[in-house]
A and B are shown apart, each in its own frame.
Chain A
Amino acid sequence: MAATQQTVDAVRDVEKYKYGWETNIDSDMAPKGLSEDIVRFISAKKEEPEWMLEWRLKAYRLWLTQQDQEPDWAKLDYPKIDYQDSYYYAAPNLGDGPKSLDEVDPKLLETYDKLGIPLREQEMLAGVAVDAVFDSVSVATTYKKKLNELGVIFCSMSEAIKEHPELVKKYLGSVVPYSDNFFATLNCAVFTDGSFVYVPKGLRCPMELSTYFRINEKNTGQFERTLIIADEGSYVSYLEGCTAPQRDENQLHAAVVELVVLDDAEIKYSTVQNWYPGDEDGKGGIYNFVTKRAACRGKNSKVMWTQVETGSAITWKYPSCILQGDNSSGEFYSVAITNNRQQADTGTKMIHLGKNTRSKIIAKGISAGRSNSTYRGLVRIQPKAEGARNFTQCDSLLIGNQCGAHTVPYIESRNPTAQTEHEATTSKISDEQMFYCQQRGMNPEEAISLIVNGFCKEVLQTLPMEFAVEAQKLVGISLEGSVG
Chain B
Amino acid sequence: MTAVKSITSSTFGDTYANAVGALPGANEPWVDGLRQMSRAILGGQGMPGPKVEAWKYTSLNAIAKTPFIPASTVDDVDVMSLPVNVPLLEGALKVVFVNGVYRHDLSDQIEGLQAGTVLSPFADVLKSRPDSLKDVLGTVMEPGQSFTAAMNTGFMEQGAVVHLSKEVNLKQPVQLLSIGASGLRPGAFHPRFEINLEEGAQATVVECHVGLPGQAYLSNSASEIILGGRAALNHYTIVSEDSEAFHLGRTAVAVDHNATYDSFVLSLGGKLVRREVHVRLEGEGAAATVDGAYGLSGKQHSDISSEILHLAPETKSNQIIKGVLGGESRGVFQGRIHVARAAQGTDGRQLHKALLLNRGPEVDCKPELEIYADDVQCAHGATTGEMDQEHIFYLLSRGIDEKTARALLVEGFLNDVIFSVSDESARNLILDMVKAWLARQRILAVGEL
Contact = CB atoms under 8 A, between A and B. Distances in A.
B424 interface: no
A348 to B, nearest CB: 15
Main SS at interface, chain B: strand
Contact of A406 (B344, B370, B374, B384): B370
Nearest to A395: B379
A384 to B, nearest CB: 10
Interface stretch (B169-177, B191-199, B356-364): B356-364
B356 A73 contact: no
Nearest to B373: A401
Nearest to B334: A410
A416 B356 contact: yes
Contacts of B400: none
A77 B383 CA distance: 32
A417 B387 CA distance: 9
Nearest to A392: B382
Given A413-B363, A416-B359, A404 B370 contact: yes
Contacts of A423: 379-382
B373 to A, nearest CB: 6
B377 interface: yes
Given A420-B383, A426-B376, A415 B359 contact: yes
Nearest to A393: B381
B359 A383 contact: yes
A416 B365 CA distance: 15
B381 A424 contact: yes
B371 A396 contact: yes
Contacts of B65: none
Given A418-B385, A424-B380, 18 more contacts: A401-B373, A407-B380, A410-B365, A411-B363, A411-B382, A412-B365, A413-B362, A413-B363, A413-B384, A416-B357, A416-B361, A416-B385, A417-B385, A420-B382, A422-B365, A423-B382, A425-B377, A426-B378
A422 B382 contact: yes
13 contacts: A398-B371, A398-B373, A404-B372, A407-B368, A410-B364, A411-B363, A411-B366, A416-B361, A421-B381, A422-B380, A425-B377, A426-B371, A426-B376
A415 to B, nearest CB: 7
B375 interface: yes
A422 B381 contact: yes
A401 B382 contact: no
Contacts of A426: 369, 371, 376-379
B377 A427 contact: yes
B1 to A, nearest CB: 12
Nearest to A426: B378
Interface in A144-185: none
A399 interface: yes
Contacts of A421: 381-383
Given A423-B380, A423-B381, A408 B374 contact: no
Contacts of B369: 396, 405-408, 424, 426
A448 to B, nearest CB: 13
Interface string A412-441: 111111111111111110000000000000
B129 interface: no
Interface in B385-402: 385-386
A425 B374 contact: no
A411 B380 contact: no
Contacts of B386: 416-417, 419
A409 interface: yes
A403 interface: yes
Given A401-B344, A406-B370, A426-B378, A414 B385 contact: no
Interface of B: 53, 341, 344, 354, 356-359, 361-386
A200 interface: no
Contacts of A241: none
Interface string A356-385: 000000000000000000000000010100
Contacts of A417: 385-386
A399 B365 contact: no
Kindly name the residue among B371, B378, B384 whose own CB sees the greatest number of chain A CB atoms within 10 A. B384
A408 B369 CA distance: 7
A464 interface: no
Contact of A428 (B359, B362, B376, B385): B376
Contacts of A414: 361-363
A400 interface: yes
A403 B374 contact: yes
A423 B353 CA distance: 12
Nearest to B351: A423
Kindly name the residue among A402, A414, A426 whose own CB sees the greatest number of chain B CB atoms within 10 A. A426
A425 B367 contact: no
A77 to B, nearest CB: 14
Nearest to B332: A412
Contacts of A381: 384
B305 to A, nearest CB: 14
Contacts of A401: 341, 344, 373-375
A403 B375 CA distance: 12
A41 to B, nearest CB: 36
Contact of B371 (A406, A411, A419, A422): A406
B278 to A, nearest CB: 18
Kindly name the residue among B354, B359, B372 whose own CB sees the greatest number of chain A CB atoms within 10 A. B372
B3 to A, nearest CB: 16
A416 B359 CA distance: 6
Contacts of A413: 354, 356, 362-364, 384
Nearest to B356: A416
Nearest to A407: B369
B384 A398 contact: no
B362 A412 contact: yes
Contacts of B357: 416
A411 B334 CA distance: 10
Q: Which 7 A-B pairs have the closest CB atoms?
A: A416-B356, A398-B374, A419-B385, A416-B386, A407-B369, A422-B382, A413-B384
B366 A409 contact: yes
B282 to A, nearest CB: 20
A402 B371 CA distance: 11
Contacts of B356: 413, 415-416
A399 B364 CA distance: 32
B424 to A, nearest CB: 33
Contacts of A396: 369, 371
Kindly name the residue among A400, A411, A419 whose own CB sees the greatest number of chain B CB atoms within 10 A. A411
Contact of A416 (B53, B358, B367, B373): B358
Contacts of A428: 374-376
B363 A412 contact: yes
A424 B379 contact: yes
A400 B372 CA distance: 10
B368 to A, nearest CB: 5
A383 B359 CA distance: 8
Contacts of B53: 73
A413 B359 CA distance: 11
Nearest to A75: B370
Contact of A410 (B366, B376, B385): B366
Contacts of B361: 414, 416
Nearest to B376: A426
Nearest to B379: A425
A160 B16 CA distance: 66
Interface string A135-149: 000000000000000
A268 to B, nearest CB: 28
A162 B379 CA distance: 52
Contacts of B367: 407, 409, 422, 424
A408 B371 contact: no
Interface string A46-59: 00000000000000
A73 B54 CA distance: 12
Contacts of A409: 366-368, 382
A73 B380 CA distance: 22
B402 to A, nearest CB: 16
B317 to A, nearest CB: 13
B115 to A, nearest CB: 46
A434 to B, nearest CB: 13
